[in-house]
A and B are shown apart, each in its own frame.
Chain A
Amino acid sequence: MNAPFPLPTISPSEIDTHNTAGGRDNGHRSGHQEHPALARDFVANVERTKWHDGALWFVRNKRDAQASQIPEWEYLRELASTIKNDAIANLPDYLVEFERNAIARGAVIHWAIDAEEHNRIVYDLLHERGVKRVIKSKSMLTEECHLNPYLESRGIEVIDTDLGERIVQLRGETPSHIVLPAIHIRKEEVGETFHEHLGTTVGASDPKYLTEAARGHLREKFIRGEAGITGVNFAIAETGGFVVCTNEGNADLGASLPPIHIACMGLEKIIPKFEDLGVFTRLLARSATGQPITTYTSHFHGPRHADSELHIVIVDNGRSDLRASDTFRSALGCIRCGACMNTCPVYRRSGGHSYDATVPGPIGSVLNPASDAKKYKSLPYACSLCGSCSDVCPVRIPLHHQLLAWRKEFGKRRLLGLDKTIPMKAASWLFQHPRLYAFAGAWGRRALRWLPRPLIYHRLNAWSRDREMPPAPKESFAQWYAKHRGGRDGN
């Protein structure tokens, strides 16, 4: 696999940076750090971790409550999985169908091989029309392509209008969650940021007050915006239209006010039939935020009237490569609900930034290695293989099995460090030689019983940092069996 997929860290020169109140500098990093080191920093702040974990567990609970109200919940997941698999399998045909129908409705379709081309297409559209002020609603694709810094460095103002995204934008950070971008930020920190940028009262942290301030501030941006950029939740092959789901109404203001609407989508967002929306609109918000449906589920079939423009940019950026993999193809079915993040006990306790990628969490740990296996090789190991992610995924992506598959893939490609390969080779050899295994086991236990504590409990023994060693019995089960049930088979 050689094509890039979600892109790596933002380069420091392209973004205005500050330290967050948590003391971590998100978005300005001189070198990539792997998950364990970043997670350690995060989880060391016990109070903050408890808060972050609690906030996301709260969202997971809301999702559970919604799922309980739908007796056919598992059937819906099965339907969604089958529909997405059909869409992915027959993608070229559906894309052609979508393009034909969308053009018939008056939309203009653009194709981008990669992030760079996507950014160039969007910039050219804006530049040709003399647009200087863009209002953008949440689009993980544009995050993936790093569209904002690209446009900003070329003199175009980009305002992220989703409240969470606006907060991280003002703070010079990247989102830490694909649905709840500011989940890692305390309300006091939002208050500080708004005081600095919006002139709210110093020390104010009431969410209602702060949201009201953001409403006023962003309303002015909506009115003055010259072009609107949105993402796409679902693109319908059968009709050539697409759907955008929001709670805030920001995508709709962005699409309804300026005369130009640019919709950016990964090519995997295609669903075959209009009626498929029935399945996905029942699953998306319930899985993402624990709501029966988002406040607005907006349908776009062509420009809103004769004098306005609708452009749809269809992006590959590594998706066609992922599609070619039998093992990982189903990950393209992701509808970006974030449920896997909310349920992941590791994500909750390490935070989205510890993945150092646009899309974090379980799905990110499956997608990111496809673009850069070396860089992201710690991500499939940032996982206890608990399987909760696979059980919440509305499209039944077998996420934890795919994470395991990545580990095997790394093994095949010889990307594993000696700290992994040597112990495993040794273990494998021991396990193939039962008498040596028994011998090693007996002496290992003796060592645990006899060695002075400092020789067992030290910095190199990662287990012992937080835990006492397991007990060291005098007899193994095999030894007990031979002694007490002797005469029959035993080691």
Chain B
Amino acid sequence: MATKQSRQTIMDRLNGRTIAAKPHPAVDHARTVSYPDPVAKFTEILTWVGGRVQQVDDMGEVSHHLHQLPHYQSAKWIASTVSAAVQGNFNLAQAEDPHSLAELDWSIIGGEFCVAENGAIWVAPQDVSQRAMVFIAQHLAIIVSRSQMVMHMHDAYRRLGGVPGGPDRFGVFVSGPSKTADIEQSLVLGAHGCRTLEVFLTP
């Protein structure tokens, strides 16, 4: 096959040159930032990038908060993987083809943990019916425990990297609603992914 030959050529080129370099560094944890109130920091940053954060004491409050939103009240199709919070009216089990999610107004999903420094939430395969669910709905809500909070991305990757069997097939850090500033650096929330992001921090 042609690319086998190209592979060999490239490898030969690379192996033909021995290069010295310093060894791979270990991150000195003592030199990384730490926040006295990580939940507050997380909330501050996520709000700054256009997300909305709500602390709730139980799942029941989630539905209550959502119902305050006009774009939730008027929503036609709501898909949820967190049935304890929201039942939804969209049958995800029947929707194998990601294209069938195109009409979703809301995706309500879980999150695994939060990152204080940048307002990001890790969403893993078990939080969604399939990957498209995160990006295709007009609005996104993520329900995640605020006790699952790390300070920064070093800790985040340490946590993810410690999973036996290696990383999941897919996963995504989500921080805020989709956005673009491609037109004259004017920030617009709601590019191709969700227009709004609601985050509910459970205990």
Which A positions have Cβ atoms within 8 angstroms of B? 55, 58-59, 70-72, 75, 79, 82-83, 85-86, 88-92, 95-96, 105, 110-113, 117, 121, 161-164, 167, 180-183, 186-187, 190, 207-208, 210-212, 215, 218-219, 222-223, 239, 241, 247-250, 252-253, 255-257, 267, 272-275, 277-279, 281-282, 289, 291-305, 314, 316, 320-321, 323-324, 329
Contacts and interface: CB of A to CB of B under 8 A. Distances in A.
A241 B179 CA distance: 25
Given A277-B157, A300-B170, A164 B24 contact: no
B158 to A, nearest CB: 6
Given A85-B22, A278-B153, A282-B153, A219 B9 contact: no
A10 B40 CA distance: 50
Contacts of A253: 132, 135-136, 192-193
Contact of A163 (B28, B102, B183): B183
Contacts of A299: 167-168, 170-172
A79 B10 contact: no
Given A112-B6, A297-B173, A256 B154 contact: no
Given A82-B22, A113-B9, A292-B119, A91 B14 contact: yes
Contacts of A279: 27, 153-154
Contact of A162 (B11, B14, B182, B188): B182
B19 A89 contact: yes
Contact of B172 (A58, A250, A296, A321): A296
B31 A86 contact: no
Give the 7 A-B CB pairs with smallest separation, nearest first: A249-B193, A89-B21, A292-B118, A164-B182, A248-B191, A278-B154, A256-B132
Contacts of A85: 21-22
Given A248-B179, A274-B160, A275-B157, A83 B25 contact: yes
Contact of A215 (B182, B185, B191): B191
B20 interface: yes
Contacts of B188: 207-208, 211
Contacts of B158: 275, 278
Contact of B191 (A90, A117, A163, A190): A163
B166 interface: yes
Contacts of B111: none
B190 A215 contact: yes
B22 A301 contact: no
Interface in B20-71: 20-25, 27-28, 31-33, 45, 49
A256 B130 contact: yes
A18 B153 CA distance: 45
A374 B88 CA distance: 63
B175 A293 contact: yes
Contacts of A223: 99, 102
Counting chain B CB atoms within 10 Å of each CB, the highest count among A71, A161, A212, A297 belongs to A297
A362 B172 CA distance: 32
Contacts of B186: 187, 207-208
Interface in B77-118: 98-99, 102, 115, 117-118
Nearest to B8: A111
Contact of B167 (A79, A222, A281, A301): A301
B157 A70 contact: no
Nearest to A292: B118
B80 to A, nearest CB: 19
A256 B183 contact: no
Nearest to B24: A86
B139 interface: no
A72 B33 contact: yes
Contact of A86 (B6, B17, B23, B185): B23
A219 B138 CA distance: 11
B152 to A, nearest CB: 7
B182 A182 contact: yes
A69 B148 CA distance: 23
A92 B14 contact: yes
A297 B172 contact: yes
Contacts of B132: 253, 256-257
A275 B174 contact: no
17 contacts: A75-B28, A79-B27, A82-B21, A83-B25, A90-B21, A113-B6, A163-B183, A207-B183, A207-B186, A252-B131, A253-B193, A256-B136, A275-B27, A278-B153, A278-B157, A282-B152, A295-B49
Contacts of B16: 324
B134 interface: yes
A324 B167 CA distance: 34
B178 interface: yes
Contacts of A70: 33
B190 A295 contact: no
Contact of A239 (B166, B176, B194): B166
A275 B102 contact: no
A83 B131 CA distance: 30
A87 to B, nearest CB: 9
Contacts of B13: 316, 320-321, 324
A210 B183 contact: yes
A278 B117 CA distance: 12
B180 interface: yes
A305 B191 CA distance: 26
Nearest to B115: A293
Contacts of A75: 28, 31
Contacts of B174: 295-296
A76 to B, nearest CB: 9
Contact of B98 (A83, A257, A294): A257
A252 B184 contact: no
